[in-house]
Amino acid sequence: MVVKNVKLNLKEITHNVFVAGNYIFTKSRYLPHYGEKKLNDLREWIPSRSKLASMLLEYRIEFDAEWKCLYLGAASGTTVSHLSDILDKGVIYAVEYSAKPFKKLLELAEERKNIIPLLKDASKPEEYSGIVELVDFLYQDVSQKNQVEIFLKNVDFFLKKGGSAIIMVKARSIDSTAEPEEIYEKVLEELRKKVKVIKYGELRHHKDHIFVHCIKH
Ligand SMILES: C[S@@+](CC[C@H](N)C(=O)[O-])C[C@H]1O[C@@H](n2cnc3c(N)ncnc32)[C@H](O)[C@@H]1O
């Protein structure tokens, strides 16, 4: 495959995810969703638009096509659309509380049958506990001051024992006056009280953010 006159040496890093240097793609039978390019059956995954794409360029996790996923902070579905390509035999419960981006998320869910959009507040999991089942994978990207509390509450409610969870931490949302490193230390301390932290690291395309990959005991 050739992009901008560069020949790509594509490598599949997990189900339906292909990487070549700084490029990342998901294999997809759907049309572009947010202005990304489509090259044959590969959809460009823009790392500056998706923290998960940025993370996967640096750090690998293994996805299973059949996983059930709870996604908190779905917005208009940029990252959800790629996860939907990856978990193509699974299901994604996509929670977003803002009506404006939710409209576009609904359009995405209409064409893709593995996305269940929920216009709900992620800090109140009890309000969707009748809909969402136990999941294998939980992903959170809500940029809120109390994002760790929201994350752990949802882990408690919905993540299977041994299940994987990723939280995208935005330092400036938690405290805009403290140094990011100070905030990360506090976040990690809070997380370690409840879950096993496997790995964390900075996101090259998203300033003052880290990902934290956890497992539920
Ligand atoms: C950084 S954006 C998410 C981008 C998206 N994850 C992606 O990669 O395509 C954060 C989103 O979280 C949503 N959000 C913030 N707090 C929330 C809450 N308590 N419940 C549900 N959604 C929330 C915001 O409305 C916003 O759309």
Tell me the pLDDT tens digit for each residue of 60-104. 999 999 999 999 999 999 999 999 999 999 999 999 999 999 999
Task: In whole angstroms, give the CA distance from residue 77 to residue 8.
Answer: 27
Indicate which atom in ligand 1 lies nearest the CA of residue 139.
6
Q: Which residues line ligand 1 (CB under 6 A)?
A: 50-51, 73, 75, 78-79, 95-98, 101, 121-123, 141-144
Please, is 64 exposed, middle or buried when counting C-beta atoms within 10 Å of its C-beta (0-12, 13-18, 19+)?
Answer: middle
Mutation to probe ligand 1, out of 71, 78, 97, 168 (largest number of atoms < 8 A from CB): 97
Q: Is 136's pLDDT higher than 70?
A: yes
Q: Is 4's pLDDT higher than 80?
A: no
Centroid of ligand 1 to alpha carbon of 5 (angstroms): 36
Indicate which atom in ligand 1 lies nearest the CA of residue 75.
27
Centroid of ligand 1 to alpha carbon of 10 (angstroms): 31
Q: Is 198's pLDDT higher than 70?
A: yes
Nearest to 151 by CA among 123, 132, 128, 129: 123
**Residue closest by Cα to atom 15 of ligand 1:** 142
Domains of the chain: 2-45 (3.30.200), 58-215 (3.40.50.150)
pTM of the model: 0.96
Exposure b/e, 149-160, CB count within 10 A at least 16 = b: ebbbbbbebbbe
